[in-house]
Structure 1
Amino acid sequence: MRTTAFRGTIVEERRPVLSRAVIAAGAGACAGAAAAYLFDPVRGRTRRARVRDKTAHTTHELRDGVGILCRDLGNRGRGSAAAVRYRFTGRSVDDRVLYERVRAELGRHVSHPHAVEVHVRDRVVSLEGDVLDTEDERARRAVRHIPGVKKVHASWTTHHDAEGVPLLQGGGRRREPVPELLQQQWSPTARLFAGTAAAALWALSRRLPRPVSWAVMGAGAVLATRMATNLPLRRLTGINAGRNAVDITEAIEIGAPADTIWALVSDYSVFARLMPDVQEVRRSPDGRLSHWVIKGPAGVPIRFDATETKREEGREIAWKSTEGQLIAHTGALGLTPADGGRTRLHVRLAYNPVAGAAGHAIAKLLGADPARRLRQDLMRLKSHLERERQPAGAGHLVAQRPAGEVTGI
Structure 2
Amino acid sequence: MVVSTRPRQDRSQNVIVLRQAPSMSRTISAAGLGAVGGMVTEYLFDPELGRTRRARVRDKGVHLTHEFRNAGRAVVCDVANRSRGVVKSIRYRTGGRDVDDEVLHERVRAELGRYVRHPHAVEVRVESGRVTLTGDLLEKESRRACRAVASIPGVKTVNANWTTHRDATGVPRLQGEGGPRGPVPELLQQRWSPTSRFLTGLAAALVWSLSGRLPRPLGYLLRAGSAVLALRAATNLPLRRLTGIGAGRRAIDIQDAITVNAPPQEVWPLLSDYSLFTRLMPDVLEVRRSADGLRSHWSVAGPAGVPIRFEAVETMREEGRRIAWKTVEGQLIAHTGTLDLTPENTGRSRIRVQLTYNPVFGAVGHAMAVLFGADPAHKLQEDLLRLKSVIEAGKSPVGAGPRA
Q: TM-score range by the shorter chain?
A: 0.7 to 0.9
Aligned pair in 2 of structure 1 residues 137, 92: CA closer, same or farther (>3 Å)? same
After TM superposition, the score normalised by the length of structure 1 is: 0.84
Gap runs ≥5 in structure 2:
1-12, 397-404
What's the CA shift string for 1:157-201, capped at 9, x where partnerless? Answer: 222332332222222345211111111111100000110111011
CA distance in 1, matches of 2:327, 2:48: 45
Q: Does 1:13 align with 2:17?
A: yes
Q: What is the percent sequence identity of the aligned residues?
A: 60
CA distance in 1, matches of 2:50, 2:330: 48
- Report SS of the residue matched to 1:93: coil
Q: Does 1:368 align with 2:374?
A: yes
Q: Does 1:261 align with 2:267?
A: yes
**How far off its partner does 1:55 sit?**
4.2
**How far off its partner does 1:15 sit?**
6.2
Q: Does 1:358 align with 2:364?
A: yes
**How far off its partner does 1:53 sit?**
4.4
CA distance in 2, matches of 1:199, 1:291: 47
- Report SS of the residue matched to 1:349: strand
- Report SS of the residue matched to 2:15: strand
The structure 2 residue matched to 1:385, chosen from 385, 391, 398, is: 391
The structure 1 residue matched to 2:131, chosen from 98, 114, 125, is: 125
Gap runs ≥5 in structure 1:
1-8, 391-409
One-letter amino acid matched to 1:317: I
User: Equivalent residue for 1:6?
Assistant: none
CA distance in 1, matches of 2:369, 2:234: 18
CA distance in 1, matches of 2:59, 2:281: 30
Do the aligned partners of 1:119 and 1:127 also contact (CA within 8 Å) in 2?
A: yes
- Report SS of the residue matched to 2:126: strand
Written as runs of structure 1 = structure 2, the 5 A alignment for 1:172-183 is: 172-173=178-179, 175-183=181-189
Written as runs of structure 1 = structure 2, the 5 A alignment for 1:25-44 is: none
CA distance in 1, matches of 2:192, 2:146: 31
User: Equivalent residue for 1:289?
Assistant: 295
**How far off its partner does 1:207 sit?**
0.7
Do the aligned partners of 2:126 and 2:132 also contact (CA within 8 Å) in 1?
A: yes
- Report SS of the residue matched to 2:248: coil
Aligned pair in 2 of structure 1 residues 47, 110: CA closer, same or farther (>3 Å)? closer
One-letter amino acid matched to 1:185: R
After TM superposition, the score normalised by the length of structure 2 is: 0.85
Written as runs of structure 1 = structure 2, the 5 A alignment for 1:197-216 is: 197-216=203-222
**How far off its partner does 1:293 sit?**
0.8
CA distance in 2, matches of 1:334, 1:174: 30
**How far off its partner does 1:43 sit?**
9.1
**How far off its partner does 1:48 sit?**
7.3
What's the CA shift string for 1:77-126, capped at 9, x where partnerless? Answer: 00011111111111111111111111111112222211111111111111
The structure 2 residue matched to 1:329, chosen from 332, 335, 341, is: 335
User: Equivalent residue for 2:230?
Assistant: 224
**How far off its partner does 1:138 sit?**
2.1
User: Equivalent residue for 1:88?
Assistant: 94
Do the aligned partners of 2:323 and 2:339 also contact (CA within 8 Å) in 1?
A: yes
What's the CA shift string for 1:209-244, capped at 9, x where partnerless? Answer: 111111111001100111111100000111111110
Q: Does 1:304 align with 2:298?
A: no
What's the CA shift string for 1:22-68, capped at 9, x where partnerless? Answer: x9xx99xx79x98xx79x99999877766664444333222221111
- Report SS of the residue matched to 2:227: helix
CA distance in 2, matches of 1:267, 1:354: 29
Do the aligned partners of 1:131 and 1:157 also contact (CA within 8 Å) in 2?
A: yes
- Report SS of the residue matched to 1:11: coil
- Report SS of the residue matched to 2:213: coil
Aligned length: 374
Do the aligned partners of 1:253 and 1:345 also contact (CA within 8 Å) in 2?
A: yes
- Alpha carbon RMSD of aligned pairs, Å? 2.9
User: Equivalent residue for 1:279?
Assistant: 285
- Report SS of the residue matched to 2:339: strand
User: Equivalent residue for 2:115?
Assistant: 109
Aligned pair in 2 of structure 1 residues 258, 294: CA closer, same or farther (>3 Å)? same
CA distance in 2, matches of 1:11, 1:389: 77
CA distance in 2, matches of 1:305, 1:100: 53
- Report SS of the residue matched to 1:344: strand
- Report SS of the residue matched to 2:110: helix
CA distance in 2, matches of 1:155, 1:304: 57
What's the CA shift string for 1:355-384, capped at 9, x where partnerless? Answer: 111000001001111111111111111111
User: Equivalent residue for 2:401?
Assistant: none
Do the aligned partners of 1:256 and 1:389 also contact (CA within 8 Å) in 2?
A: no
User: Equivalent residue for 1:406?
Assistant: none
- Report SS of the residue matched to 1:131: strand
**How far off its partner does 1:128 sit?**
1.4
CA distance in 1, matches of 2:306, 2:180: 49
Do the aligned partners of 2:131 and 2:159 also contact (CA within 8 Å) in 1?
A: yes
One-letter amino acid matched to 1:338: E
